[in-house]
Structure formats: C-alpha cells, structure tokens
Amino acid sequence: MKNKFFMVPFGLFLVYLFIGCADELSPETKAYIAKVEQHRIEVNDYMKENPASPFNAKGKVEFHQLNYFDVNPELQFQSKLYEYNPKDTVTIYGTKGETRTSVRYGYVIFPYQNKTHKINVYQGQTSSGEKYYSIWFTDETTNKETYGVGRYLNFEKMEDPDHIYTVDFNYAYNPYCAYSKDYSCAIPTKEDHINAAITAGEKKFHD
C-alpha cells in the first residue's frame, strides 16, 4: 500500500449544524443521533445487568448511568487505514504498572479544527489467539471532562486495503478501569494524544 494521505468527507449531512431546535435538523442527522442514543441505552443496560460487566464480574460496584457528551455528528470522519511498514511491536503500560506488547499496525487521519490529525490503530491478540484492533487516545478533555487515563474506540479491520473507515468519536468509551480498581487497562502513549478537545463520546464516570 502506498503511504499517501487520502481523506473523504463524511457526507453532505455533516454541514447541518445544531442551530436551534431539533426540528431544524435533517432527517439523516436525526436518524444518526437516534442510533447513537440507542447504542448508549444498550451499553447502560449491559453495564447494569450483565454478570460479565465491570460492575458485576469482580465484586459489585455501585452503578449509575454512564455520562456522555451530547451526540455530535461533526465528530465522525472517514479515512483509509495506512499500514506501517514495518509494523513495530511496542510496549504499552497498564494502569497497574504491568507491561504489555501490542503491534502498532497503522493509522487513520482526520481533519478537525483546521488541522489534520493522525491516530494509531493497534493490533492485539486474545488469550485464544484471535486478533483484534483498537484505537486508544487522549485529548484536550482528558482528566477534565473525560477519564484521566484516556478513551478507546473499537476498530473493525477490513481486508480491502482501499476500504474507507468511519472513525466516530461519539462511540468513544472508557476502559473498565474507569469503573473499578480491580481492572487494569492500557495507557495511551504520548504519540496517541490528539491536540484538540474531542467533545464526543463518554465522559468521566465519577465526578
């Protein structure tokens, strides 16, 4: 794959701004907001009720509704995945001080606030040997409105090298260690910092 920047505008509906009441939003924007809000309801239900959630799996943690920024359609972007060559295996620290290894697989780019930002995509492996891909990041809201360690985004890698991915920060979420001290989570590196306030996705669980 040629390492050449390529960006695609997300769509014409992103030009619609939140100016006035909900009736002024386009049908596409209304549908998008409803979809994100429904996802948040499902996450809340899972966190509260599922035995495997961080509120139940390692001792009961008092649950209250997760905190989110208002859904912001302007904080979703499209980009190709630019693979590193070579793909370095890097050391990542967990919040309990342990070291982990992860493959710095590639990166995506997105325009925001008159700058082009780059954020890494990491390849990990489950205990059963299954590969998975993640984005983790800090930004100018970190340790203010959002969790001090950072936030995560799931990333589903496609085989097509020309596939255009949607990077949607409205789905950014806290790692399990944000809710319970019994968990350790990967700490984003300095390279994973976004020099902008990403006012989308999940906020701090504890005020």
Q: What is the DSSP string of 97-165?
A: S-EEEEEEEEEEEEEETTEEEEEEEEEEE-TTS-EEEEEEEB-TTBTTTB-SS-EEEEE---S-TTPPE
Q: Is there a contact between 88 and 104 (Cβ–Cβ < 8 Å)?
A: yes
Q: What is the pLDDT at residue 21?
A: 46
Where do we find the tokens 């890494």?
120
Predicted local distance difference test score (pLDDT) of residue 206 = 74
pLDDT at res. 23: 58
What confidence score (pLDDT) does residue 207 get? Answer: 55
- pTM of the complete model: 0.86
Residue 27 to residue 154: CA distance in whole angstroms: 27
Q: Where are the domains of the chain?
A: 69-192
The one-digit pLDDT tens for each residue of the chain (207 residues) are: 444 434 444 443 343 444 444 558 899 999 999 999 999 999 999 999 999 999 999 989 999 999 999 999 999 999 999 999 999 999 999 999 999 999 999 999 999 999 999 999 999 988 888 999 999 999 999 999 999 999 999 999 999 999 999 999 999 999 999 999 999 999 999 999 999 999 999 999 975
